[in-house]
Amino acid sequence: MSGRGLRRDSENGGIHDEEPKKQAGERRQSRPAPLVYYATGSGGTTLDTGEGGGNPFASVLIGASGEKTLRLRNLAARLKKRTYALSQGHQVIECRGDPLLPGWQFTENNHPAREKRAALVLVVSDYSASGEDMSLPGAARDERRIAAMLAQYGFSVDQGIGPRRLELTRALASFRHRSRGSDIAIIYSTGHGIECDGMVYLLPGDYPVHEGYKKALLRNRAVSVSRIVSAATAGAQNIVFFAGCRSQVSNIRTPGKADADGS
């Protein structure tokens, strides 16, 4: 379940939300908009030391996915209630979008040839190249747990992506192409997260934290969540889980030290 067939970084557009430019012949307009779940609200942080050794959101998602009676229409409420409880009120999830397949289930995939499932687990846990002591051992465990859960339910999973920005963007470009041939696409992503002017960013492992978090630097050296979301291009339902923090830039006093237990 390691990363596969990573190709060129073809989406380094300079637009605000970093969504790649449409190519001729791409029928992007026919692809359903992703359903996006955030593990915390705007300005919130997430925990890296919960049950199972990682984010409580990941633990709840893994548990909920195995419930045979759970439908996609109920997933947001289930995640919100249980994540809040497991994190002892620290994390309040946010969901954006409405499910196009409200009756869809993780567990109901008895005919894989009929429903093609693709997943990308994009986790940054190693921040040794950043110059700060801010690596996330819990996120590393969550990567393995989430990938195993998705594989169990018939997803073809890409994981083991390197932490540097170029590796992350190449993985997103590859998955954008691969997921286009699928019916269901899921992206699970986590790492240190920052929110600036309403935009949420995943910090790569080589982000220069000593330079701070100015908007221009985030756009050029981080990876926007909107860019991650745009890589899910399946034909029937696209789902993105972002489990990182959404720390407000104005509230960060020391780069890389937004939350002692958070991500």
Would you write out the chain's pLDDT as a tens digit for each of its 263 residues? 333 333 333 333 333 334 444 443 444 456 788 999 999 999 999 999 865 678 999 999 999 999 999 999 999 999 999 999 999 999 999 999 999 999 999 997 655 567 999 999 999 999 999 888 899 999 999 999 999 999 999 999 999 999 999 999 999 999 999 999 999 999 999 999 999 999 999 999 999 999 999 999 999 999 999 999 999 999 999 999 999 999 998 756 544 444 434 55
φ/ψ of 38, rounded to 5, equals -100, 140
The secondary element (H helix, E strand) that includes residue 202 is strand 199-202
φ/ψ of 241, rounded to 5, equals -115, 120
| Per-domain boundaries in the chain | 30-106+117-251
84-91: long-range contacts, CB 8 A cutoff, minimum separation 24: 86/50, 86/51, 86/56, 86/59, 86/60, 87/46, 87/47, 87/50, 87/56, 87/57, 90/44, 90/45, 90/46, 90/47, 90/56, 91/39, 91/40, 91/44, 91/46, 91/47, 91/56, 91/57
Residue corresponding to tokens 């300079």: 14
What DSSP designation does 157 have?
E
Topology of the domain covering 30-106+117-251: Rossmann fold (3.40.50)
Residues near 36 by Cβ (< 8 Å), separated by ≥ 6?
95, 96, 97, 225, 229, 239, 240, 241, 242
Task: Report pTM.
Answer: 0.85
